[in-house]
Chain A
Amino acid sequence: MYWGRKPPRGLLKILRDIDEPFDTILDPFCGGGTLIASALHLDARVIGSDLNPMAVFLSKVLIQPLNLFSLKQAFEIIENAVAKSILDKYRIQCGRCRKEIFFEYIKWNYQENHDFPEEVKITCQHCGFRKLYPLTKEEIKRQTVLSQIKPEFWFPEKLIQAQRKTKVSFFHELFTGRNLAALAELHAAIEKIPSPQCRDFFNYVFTGALYSCSQMQMFSSKFPSSSRGWTAPRFYLPPARKEKNVWLAFNNRFKTVIRCKDHLNSSLGFLKVSNSLKDFETSNDKAFIHQADFLKFPFPEKLKLSHVLLDPPYNDDIDYMGFSEFWGSWLNMKSPVNASWNPGKMTNEQNAHKMKSLLLRIRENTDSSCSVILAYGSKRKDAWKFVEDSINSAGYKLRDLGNIYLDNPHKRKPGEFTVADRYFLLKRTLAKARPPKIISDKPRTKVSKFDLNEVHLTIRLAAFLLEHHKITCADNIREKADSLIRPRLKDALDKVKWKELKELVTNRDINIKANNRLCLTLLDAILVKDKFNVTQISKNKFDDSKLKGYFDFQNTIQSRNMIEGVDFIAEDHGKKKILFCFYDKEKEDLRKKIASEVIKNDSKDYRILHFLIFSNNEEMNKCRQLEYKDNWPRGFFVCLDEIAGMAIKLDQKRFGHLTNLTDPSVVSYRSKLKIKQFRAKVKDNIPVSEESKHYRLKIEASELKYIVPGQFVMIDTLTTKKRKQIEKSAIPSDRKLHSLSGAVDLTPISFLKRPFSIHRGIYENFEYKYLKNLELPQNLAPLSHTIYPNRFEIFYKVLDNGIGTNELKEIKKGSEIEVLGPLGTITDIRDWRAEGINEVHLIGGGVGMAPLIFFGQALKFYSFKLKAFIGIDKLETLLFSAEHPPTFAEDPKNAYVYVDNLLGIGLALEDIFMSSEAPLTSNDKDKCKLPETNCYHGFVTDQYKEYFRGLNKPEGVMIISCGPTPMMKILSKFASEQKITLKVLLEKRMACGIGVCMSCVCRTKKDGTTEYSRVCTDGPLFDASEIEWD
């Protein structure tokens, strides 16, 4: 649509790489508005200006948020008004079925001094015939006549004033008569749209289609279907050209633009655009765009600019102003006469002078904190020297930000990129004077072979790290290597020549070495705290004798496999071994062998852990699917991205030398996932003991694999089969009325789904109680993953008058139920470690303990210390919510299932506490096996208070609690007194579970005001301090 548009994605990356807060940005050469949109996306305020009215128009429309529905409606209006009559102009007979259709384009050719239509491209609307074929003689005559019709509506009659002209002198002569007539008609229809915003939008689309509808659209026999952009920088009528069907071109353009709008709408949202600079300065409006000459217009007085985006036209041959007339003439735009920037005619010196004056003007009008982002792109190779010179002399320092790339339009070679522009950040220097060049004059020293290896490795490492940015410039690599290398070797590094550097970067051996080195360094940083020693297994110098005594399991794991298949070993003074292998598809069999050997030798103790290292998150998650469970029995997965992130985090606290080792953008491992409604198979549904009211429901649901503690599901308490029967019986029919005899079944049935939290996730590749022995190194644990779970257990209590739970308990093994999930916010438990938490106390009242087991599972996996308090209090539950019948207190043995489960996830008996309102008999105590001191007669809150006060300076403790409100209220008070973090898991009546019904609310405090928050979408895990308990 406009000359020199840049890909927004690359631009965004450049802006993000600058890594400075964007406050207010000035873009004095806004052009097509890509920079403005990108800056707005980063939440900056933008002033845009351009001398060219067309550019201002385009930028304004680009950022204007528009409702897709009203656009489509307006399009329909245009379609109804003109589509038929425009398409009529392009009638032709189908080459196969002979029906009247309209063509896609006609290829014109210029031969022997006259133009004639040569071939036609059709896609038949009736028979689907699709071909480009030569026209018959009659058709040539007919189409020639047709193409010369006179327009019935207004069209611009303007003289072309561009520097280079072709044989035509008027803009309208760039079109065939037929296309001009069609465009004029279309333009008239667009002008009739009532809403000004929609009108602007369609004019935007219209101008976008103009070029491809003109005779400048070249026909290329190599790519007959491609519609090329305006590549020749002048008005040029090629001999072989296309006459496109205007309506189809407009329609296609509309579809493309609406897709962009969809994207922009969601990235920009509503933004207010000011009408004047004054408005912009005084209000909170996000943007202001005006037409102005940069060298003359006033800078904002009251606002401080944080950045200026400078993308002026360089001395290319593009006459922006002249070309814009091509579009602008249709929109009645007046181009400023005597455009002050007419680059095509300038010499490099003049251009540099202009550049300097621009920068000086910026320097004059902004303060020192304002930096300039400069985009540079020119076909003239000698121009850069002058530009650089003018930058330095204007008192700015350069920082290279890298290139942005355009996709190669024809994709001749996949992955081939063409460079569009290079970006620089200009920082203001204090002095205006040019800094003198420093000439190094150091004596040469000899470098040993060992050191040289080190240098080579470092260079490769640097290149490896920079690969993310697609920067392969020698200077960058050298700079990066410089920051990594030991000071002693700096001189040696300086000596490496560019040619050598290039070879090193592509050398495969060094490549592997560098990769291993990087991984080793990172693993070491992670495991050093747990006193693990990480060694790389060398494949070349294999020596059996060396292994003896080093690996005490060398007899059991075949050493050959070990050497081939394992890349690193971490060991902890003989107690534990961790094997790390890079994931490699070719060596899959070997890895499997190792995995099975590990299990054979270490079935229960988890003394040998088998880790697979993946290069990125995506690849890892692919292998975590259930179908791979046989490949990696009991295997753990880590990915390099996360390892790097963790290593840097840890290292910052200690030395800080790893900081420049990796890309800072560490991928977060769980993004928000969409809620699914699906059918789950019931695997089991039995009471915990005979005549118990507590049931365990086991479901198979791989859709829930991403669920984390603190989330929940909604379950239909009737099986899908039964629900369907009921729905069917509700359909009225005549026959049913007659057969209605006897009593109607009036037992109440459930209408809504019920919310349940997960009691336990079941991992296929780990046997039950595996967590008891598993202990991952503290810093490695948060990075470790296993195969996703696919079965889940839900623990529920049947209420006497509860419709839902009474239905649920009737569900038999093997039937299907409807489930909605995962619901609720995602809490990343691993973040707690960063907050200084290392011990978690789980306090559950009654069935409230059930979801805490799921928490316990995850916490144990991530190596948190755990204590659990089970309250089986009768009174508290009875007093405040009369709907709940008596709980465990009537039969304490039901609560032992918790003790079992807690032992299963690896808690010791001493870590489990239980209190009961009804005194526990000695028989009970024997059965639950808990030590005498851990049993308490009274409220769990009292027991906990007593326990906590007995602790010696507890640090890094957090409580997670779930149970009756009064219990959590007392705990909340206690927690705020003792200044411990308390998280509470709330349960409420819910209708929808997805946040629309607003029925599951709780009162929360925020910034001094209280409001109702939705438990389902804002929780259900809350910080107790947020909640208004009264």
Chain B
Amino acid sequence: MQVRLNGIDMERMQTQLKHLKLKSPLMTAAGTSGHSGEEISNLAIDRKTLGSLGAFVTKGITVEPRDGNPEFRIVETRIGLLNAIGLQNKGVKFFIEKELPGLLNFDLPIIVNISGNTINEFENLSSYLSDNDLSETIAGIEINVSCPNIKKGGVAFGTDPRLVEKIVSTVKKRIPPRMFLTTKLTPNVTDITLPARAAIEGGTDALSMINTLRGMAINVETRKPLLGNKTGGLSGPAIKPVGVYMVYECFEKINECNRREIPIIGIGGIATWRDALEYIMAGATAVAIGTAWFVNQKIFIDIYRGLHNYLEKKDRKIMELVGKAHETI
């Protein structure tokens, strides 16, 4: 049966990440949409925004509360943003009790981004989440082994394939099979396929790529780094080509991705529907939008419409376009 709502052909936009069916390929990127969804609800266009999303990814959480980095935390670059927030959050207990209930009515699969300093912390965090997931609100977990702004863990884990595998398999063991597991990879490596393969070995259901690229900025007047953390991570349209390449590389080189057994979530610099399509054609099954959302609060709606118009014109479904760029010649 064909489902059409307000002239939108829902079926065209449907996509699937393993057993998780999404009504749209668009997701929020971790760290850019808050924990409780309160910020989206405050917008006048909240319903439309939620309608164009396929899944909601929360900002990263840790076992203990984290203060985050000192000021300044952001620097604007030419077409991007350097940030060093440092995973500010109030801890998993607060998250479960106060923030997660806000997401109950989103009518979206909720994917919780988790982070830790040690493997042990990942273990505790994932078991705490699966034990306290009242009414099965959490549809999936995203392992963050790529944050460039924390001293321990983060990117240090993500660059070591052995550690990635160990963390992923630890988390996988702790969570129930209905939860979807994805691993967010860092682009700060020479060969992205190594940590990607390691995550697959560890048992991840999907790969999210890419996190921010490391970068920094200096104030020439004071002759000091601008960011409070000295270095930060670069996001925004500036890093899109890197992200597209890495998705392409994984889809090309890794058999599981090529056979569409391990879907890829494309993240990094998406600001228009064309960017989203580039990622999809490079091999991503879904895409997440982050920094561009700071600039334009209508971005999800705009991209959703743009994608839909394109598909309508070409008479395609989004799932048919995944990895299309590999079929050239």
Listed in ascending order, the chain A residues whose CB lies under 8 Å from chain B are 64-70, 72-73, 76, 194-195, 197-198, 262, 265-266, 269-270, 272, 672, 674-677, 716, 727, 730-731, 748-753, 803, 818, 820, 882-883, 988-989, 991-992, 994-999, 1001-1002, 1011-1012, 1017
Contacts of A73 in B (CB 8 A): 21
Contact A998 B297 (CB under 8 A): no
Contact B237 A998 (CB under 8 A): no
> Within the complex, which residue of A195, A262, A752 is in contact with B136, where a contact is CB–CB below 8 Å?
A195
Contact B42 A674 (CB under 8 A): yes
Q: How far is the CA of A992 from the CA of B21 in the complex (A)?
A: 30
Q: Which residue of B lies closest to A749 (CB)?
A: B78
**Quick one: given A803-B76, A994-B297, are A999 and B221 in contact (CB under 8 Å)?**
no
Contact B81 A751 (CB under 8 A): yes
Q: How far is the CA of A269 from the CA of B105 in the complex (A)?
A: 10
> Within the complex, which residue of A266, A676, A882, A1002 is in contact with B104, where a contact is CB–CB below 8 Å?
A266
Shortest distance between the CB of A990 and any CB in chain B (Å): 8
Q: How far is the CA of A18 from the CA of B137 in the complex (A)?
A: 35
Shortest distance between the CB of A806 and any CB in chain B (Å): 13
Residues of A contacting B: mostly: loop
Shortest distance between the CB of A944 and any CB in chain B (Å): 27
**Quick one: given A750-B76, A751-B78, A882-B219, are A992 and B294 in contact (CB under 8 Å)?**
yes
Contacts of B76 in A (CB 8 A): 750-752, 803, 991
B175 contacts partner chain A, Cβ-Cβ < 8 Å: no
Shortest distance between the CB of A751 and any CB in chain B (Å): 5
Q: How far is the CA of A197 from the CA of B134 in the complex (A)?
A: 10
CB contacts between A and B, total, < 8 Å: 153
B45 contacts partner chain A, Cβ-Cβ < 8 Å: yes
Q: What 8 additional pairs, Cβ within 8 angstroms, besides A727-B272, A882-B222, A998-B88?
A: A65-B101, A70-B135, A677-B297, A748-B78, A751-B295, A883-B219, A996-B33, A1017-B39
Shortest distance between the CB of B4 and any CB in chain A (Å): 14
**Quick one: given A69-B108, A752-B295, are A997 and B83 in contact (CB under 8 Å)?**
yes
Q: Which residue of A lies closest to B97 (CB)?
A: A270
Contact A69 B110 (CB under 8 A): yes
Contact B105 A266 (CB under 8 A): yes
Stretch in contact with the other chain, from B66-74, B157-165, B185-193, B255-263: B66-74
Q: How far is the CA of A916 from the CA of B156 in the complex (A)?
A: 52
Contacts of B245 in A (CB 8 A): none
Q: How far is the CA of A988 from the CA of B33 in the complex (A)?
A: 20
Contact B42 A992 (CB under 8 A): no
Q: How far is the CA of A65 from the CA of B59 in the complex (A)?
A: 23
Listed in ascending order, the chain B residues whose CB lies under 8 Å from chain A are 21, 32-34, 38-39, 42-46, 59, 67-68, 71-74, 76-81, 83, 85, 88, 96-97, 100-101, 104-110, 134-137, 139, 178, 219, 221-222, 236-237, 272, 274, 291, 293-298
Contact A69 B83 (CB under 8 A): no
Contact A674 B297 (CB under 8 A): no
Q: How far is the CA of A262 from the CA of B107 in the complex (A)?
A: 9
Contacts of A749 in B (CB 8 A): 78-79
Q: How far is the CA of A996 from the CA of B33 in the complex (A)?
A: 5
Contact B134 A989 (CB under 8 A): no
For A262, A676, A1001, the residue with the greatest tally of chain B CB atoms inside 10 Å of its CB is A1001
**Quick one: given A65-B135, A730-B237, are A270 and B100 in contact (CB under 8 Å)?**
yes
**Quick one: given A68-B104, A270-B134, A748-B78, are A675 and B295 in contact (CB under 8 Å)?**
no
Shortest distance between the CB of A43 and any CB in chain B (Å): 14
Shortest distance between the CB of B20 and any CB in chain A (Å): 9
Q: How far is the CA of A64 from the CA of B96 in the complex (A)?
A: 16
Q: How far is the CA of A188 from the CA of B25 in the complex (A)?
A: 33
Q: Which residue of A lies closest to B28 (CB)?
A: A996
Contact B101 A677 (CB under 8 A): no
Contacts of B222 in A (CB 8 A): 882
State the 6 A-B residue pairs at the shortest beta-carbon distance, nearest first: A674-B44, A269-B101, A992-B294, A999-B74, A999-B73, A67-B137
Contact A265 B33 (CB under 8 A): no
Q: Which residue of B lies closest to A823 (CB)?
A: B42
Contacts of A995 in B (CB 8 A): 34, 38-39, 42
**Quick one: given A882-B221, A994-B42, are A751 and B136 in contact (CB under 8 Å)?**
no
Contact B107 A69 (CB under 8 A): yes
> Within the complex, which residue of A270, A674, A677, A998 is in contact with B68, where a contact is CB–CB below 8 Å?
A998
Contact B104 A751 (CB under 8 A): no
Contact A1001 B88 (CB under 8 A): yes
Contact A197 B135 (CB under 8 A): yes
> Within the complex, which residue of A194, A751, A994 is in contact with B77, where a contact is CB–CB below 8 Å?
A751
Contact B293 A992 (CB under 8 A): yes
Q: How far is the CA of A994 from the CA of B297 in the complex (A)?
A: 9
**Quick one: given A882-B222, A1012-B88, are A64 and B135 in contact (CB under 8 Å)?**
yes
Contacts of A675 in B (CB 8 A): 42-44, 297
Contact B136 A70 (CB under 8 A): yes
Q: How far is the CA of A262 from the CA of B272 in the complex (A)?
A: 32
Q: How far is the CA of A675 from the CA of B44 in the complex (A)?
A: 5
Q: Which residue of A lies closest to B297 (CB)?
A: A677
Contact A752 B104 (CB under 8 A): no
Contacts of A1011 in B (CB 8 A): 67
Contact B71 A1001 (CB under 8 A): yes
Contact B46 A674 (CB under 8 A): yes
Q: How far is the CA of A748 from the CA of B80 in the complex (A)?
A: 11
Contact A66 B297 (CB under 8 A): no
Q: How far is the CA of A751 from the CA of B239 in the complex (A)?
A: 14
> Within the complex, which residue of B97, B100, B134, B298 is in contact with A677, where a contact is CB–CB below 8 Å?
B298
Contact A262 B105 (CB under 8 A): yes
Q: Which residue of B lies closest to A76 (CB)?
A: B21
Contact B88 A67 (CB under 8 A): no
For B74, B101, B107, B236, the residue with the greatest tally of chain A CB atoms inside 10 Å of its CB is B74
Contacts of B135 in A (CB 8 A): 64-67, 70, 197, 270
Contacts of B38 in A (CB 8 A): 995
Shortest distance between the CB of B49 and any CB in chain A (Å): 11
Contact B68 A1001 (CB under 8 A): yes
Q: How far is the CA of A1017 from the CA of B36 in the complex (A)?
A: 14
Contacts of A727 in B (CB 8 A): 272
Q: How far is the CA of A564 from the CA of B7 in the complex (A)?
A: 56
Q: Can you list 28 A-B contacts with CB-CB less than 8 angstroms, sorted by A residue number?
A: A65-B101, A67-B136, A69-B107, A72-B107, A73-B21, A262-B105, A270-B97, A674-B46, A676-B43, A677-B296, A716-B295, A730-B237, A731-B274, A749-B78, A751-B78, A753-B294, A882-B222, A989-B73, A991-B294, A992-B294, A995-B42, A996-B33, A997-B74, A998-B68, A998-B88, A999-B73, A1002-B71, A1012-B68
Contact B88 A996 (CB under 8 A): no
Contacts of B107 in A (CB 8 A): 68-69, 72
Q: How far is the CA of A672 from the CA of B38 in the complex (A)?
A: 13
Q: Which residue of A lies closest to B224 (CB)?
A: A882
Q: Which residue of A lies closest to B272 (CB)?
A: A727
Q: How far is the CA of A988 from the CA of B107 in the complex (A)?
A: 34
Q: Which residue of A lies closest to B75 (CB)?
A: A989
Q: How far is the CA of A750 from the CA of B78 in the complex (A)?
A: 7
Shortest distance between the CB of A808 and any CB in chain B (Å): 14
Shortest distance between the CB of B273 and any CB in chain A (Å): 11
Contacts of B78 in A (CB 8 A): 748-749, 751
> Within the complex, which residue of A69, A70, A677, A1017 is in contact with B45, where a contact is CB–CB below 8 Å?
A677
**Quick one: given A727-B272, A994-B297, A997-B294, are A751 and B39 in contact (CB under 8 Å)?**
no
Contact B134 A272 (CB under 8 A): yes
Contact B104 A197 (CB under 8 A): no
Contact A996 B81 (CB under 8 A): no
Q: How far is the CA of A617 from the CA of B292 in the complex (A)?
A: 39
Contact B294 A68 (CB under 8 A): no
For B44, B136, B236, the residue with the greatest tally of chain A CB atoms inside 10 Å of its CB is B136
Q: Which residue of A lies closest to B84 (CB)?
A: A999
Q: Which residue of A lies closest to B78 (CB)?
A: A748
Q: How far is the CA of A685 from the CA of B83 in the complex (A)?
A: 32
Q: Which residue of B lies closest to A258 (CB)?
A: B107
Contacts of B73 in A (CB 8 A): 989, 998-999, 1001
